[in-house]
Amino acid sequence: MANTLGPNIAAVLPEKQGRLTISERPIPTPGPGELLVRNEAVAANPSDWKVQSLGVIVDKFPAVLGSDVAGIVVSVGPGVTRFKAGDHVMAFALGMVLGNIDGAALQTFTILNEAATSHLPKSLTFQQGATLPVAMATAAIALFADLELPMREKRDNEQGAILVWGGASAVGVGAIQIAHALGWTVYTTASPKHHAWLKKLGATDAWDYRDSEAAQHIGQAAKAAGLKIRGAIDTRSEDSSFDLVTAALVAANSTSGGRVATLLPWPADKPRPEGIETFSTNCFRFVKDRQDIGSWLFDSWLYKALEDGSIEPAPKVRVIEGGLKGAQSMLDTLKAGVSGEKLVINIGGQPDRSRD
């Protein structure tokens, strides 16, 4: 296999809290329910730099990091029904967290789980495809599992708004787009330079999270619209964000029965606000107890919503040069902070897909 496919070059984390080094790895064979994919683009997530810098989650070394990929199917394992060799796909590569080095993204060939893979619409580049899977899966778990939004279009007799705190983050734009596409009113906070963009993606209104009056403004907007905030996603989940999201629910008279999904855990020493239920989002639930959400997203909705224009690829792609050799720079850049962008490296030779 290696002779015909070429080498599997990987950005390897040799040891806990080490730096990425380039080396060659064997090309794996897909097992039942798995696909072997030649990666064209890989995007970075905060979990990648956190695993590296903080030495968390991954405890087997050498390791390969990375979870967001887009590429071309090389072969499929037994039982795979939705994909065949040659298909262009985007996927949430599960290997980093499952401790399966063959299933991590930052290498030429990755083993993907069919349940975490979507076809890539023709209108998207591989880079755009790589920006979506982790953020969309996390947003879907937060919305449907934590906030208990119905996994279908809103009905006329259903009321309420969704608050996405930190809407310009990758998960934030995913949540805004899903909630809006299903018919919900969405309030968000972000830097003012992103407000017009987030409204275009579906936010009803946007405020600056640095504005000390933001919570009051959100409360006023909800009350003026006659809406309760039925759920909030705190994509920041750091520092004052827990209190600010709570204040917005208080200002909107929405504490009773209000649900808050936090992407990082609610601090142990911070009292839970009365009336509000808090949930620590776990994106991996789509392959565990909420496979229905994974199936909704990866089997059908994501592809269809991109094809029919209900959603668009976002945040904006920023390519870090150097291919896999640029992977360390990509993680360092993400750790330093991004604003409304998703960092991507090109791995294969076809970053802009030919339209066949």
Options 191, 216, 255, 295; binder of ligand NAP; rule CB under 6 A: 191
120: helix, strand or coil: coil
> Chain centroid to CA 64: how far?
19
The single residue among 28, 160, 166, 273 that binds ligand NAP, judged by CB under 6 A, is 166
Residue 58 lies near ligand NAP (rule: CB under 6 A)? no
Q: Which of 47, 246 has the CB closer to ligand NAP?
A: 47
Binding positions for ligand NAP, 266-325, rule CB under 6 A: 281-283
Nearest distance in Å: CB 63, ligand NAP: 18
State which residue, 290 or 353, has the beta carbon closest to ligand NAP: 290
Residue 52 as a binder of ligand NAP (CB under 6 A): the answer is: no
Q: Which residues pair with 111 in a beta bridge?
A: 36
With respect to ligand NAP, which residue has the nearer C-beta, 56 or 85? 56
Nearest-CA neighbor of 42 among 116, 123, 122, 109? 109
Interacting positions 129-158 with ligand NAP (CB under 6 A): 134-135, 138
Number of residues that bind ligand NAP (CB under 6 A): 27
**Nearest-angstrom CA–CA distance, 314 and 9:** 28
171 binds ligand NAP (CB under 6 A): yes
B/e letters for 119-144, b = 16+ CB within 10 Å, e = fewer, are bbbeebbbbbbbbbbbbbbbbbbbbb
Of 210, 227, 231, 211, residue with least CA distance to 219: 227
Residue 201 engages ligand NAP in binding (rule: CB under 6 A)? no
| Identity of the residue, 26 or 192, whose beta carbon is nearer to ligand NAP in the bound complex | 192
Q: Does 263 bind ligand NAP (CB under 6 A)?
A: yes
Do 314 and 181 contact (CB within 8 A), yes or no?
A: no
Q: Which of 51, 65, 66 is nearest to 16 (CA)?
A: 51
Please give the single-letter amino acid code of residue 272: R
Measure the CA–CA gap between 41 and 279, rounded to whole angstroms.
32
Query: From the list 209, 279, 298, 303, which residue makes contact with ligand NAP (rule: CB under 6 A)?
Result: 209
Residue number, 27 or 58, with CB nearest to ligand NAP:
58
**Which of 145, 190, 305, 345 contacts ligand NAP by CB under 6 A?**
190
Can you name the residues that pair with 70 across neighbouring β-strands?
41, 90
Could you list the residues that contact ligand NAP (CB under 6 A)?
Answer: 45-47, 134-135, 138, 166, 168-172, 190-191, 194, 209, 235-236, 241, 263-264, 281-283, 338-340
